Amino acid sequence: MSEALINRLVEFAESGNQQRIVLNGVTHQGWIMEISEEALMISTGFAEKSGHDAWLKFEDLTQAELYFWDNQNDLWVEFKI
């Protein structure tokens, strides 16, 4: 993927306290843990037993809704890539 897209995804990962990605009706909410050349990994849940890691391909993220939690205003803010 392009360096510009990877830079935007790094910016997304560093935005807010948590990130939320809605893709094909499935919500992944948690923390971006890793960004590779083709995908990002979001870790969800608050404990190993209830959480899971999901790899989401960059090409799929173009169809996803991205949000980050704004601590100052206590609300989810949409993020455009």
Q: Domain ranges in the chain?
A: 3-79
- The tally of CA atoms less than 13 A away on the side-chain side of residue 19 is 23
Tell me the per-residue pLDDT of 9-67, one tens digit each, with 9 for 90 and over: 999 999 988 999 999 999 999 999 999 989 999 998 765 666 789 999 999 998 999 99
Q: Which two tokens stand for residue 35?
A: 């960004």
Pick the CATH number of 3-79 from 2.40.128, 1.10.3470, 1.10.4160, 2.30.30: 2.30.30
pLDDT at 2: 82
- Tell whether pTM > 0.75: yes
The whole-angstrom separation of Cα 17 and Cα 6 is 20
pLDDT at 49: 64
